[in-house]
Copies of this chain bind each other. A is one copy, B any other.
């Protein structure tokens, strides 16, 4: 094999450019030429690493998902061992909310993909896999807090579903600047207080 090139690295380089374009101009501005120009490469190179545009989009969605997960595990790791459920969940959620410009950009991309997947069944399947396990995880934390006497007597599954819905909704309202960060955080903390003590 000639020319040792890290395929995955090249693909993420391209997809990083894709996400910058999507965050700035929207997903409909994502064309092979725009992405290539943003990445500083030729369209031929983009074509070399992604045979079709759809393949590039799918890879981009996977990267977005992976980065979200990485962001969570990294933030949770910073909490140290055996954190309190409420702090754990609060950290998780605030980490995912678009509270600064970097995460706002990510959220714009995620929103664009959400709308993209809403009319593409195959792409939607890629999104669906993450949430159920997140709901399960949050429900488990609520259960643990309840067992320790540190949470209200609510149905864990329902409370978890509601809490993630709050997160998603706050994300939307933050992104569209309908809520100020303070408003969103107050609403989140109120929600957490209603579930935990």
Binding site for B on A (CB under 8 A): 23-28, 108, 111-112, 114-120, 124, 127-128, 131-132, 154-155, 158-159, 161-162, 164-170, 172-173, 175-179, 183-184, 186-188, 190-191, 194
Contacts and interface: CB of A to CB of B under 8 A. Distances in A.
Given A116-B26, A155-B190, A169 B178 contact: no
A176 B124 contact: yes
| Number of copies of this protein chain within its complex | 2
A38 B120 CA distance: 20
Contacts of A168: 165, 168-169, 172-173
Given A128-B177, A190-B154, A190-B155, A26 B119 contact: yes
Nearest 10 Cβ contacts at the A-B interface: A165-B169, A168-B169, A169-B169, A26-B119, A162-B187, A115-B115, A161-B187, A131-B178, A194-B194, A165-B170
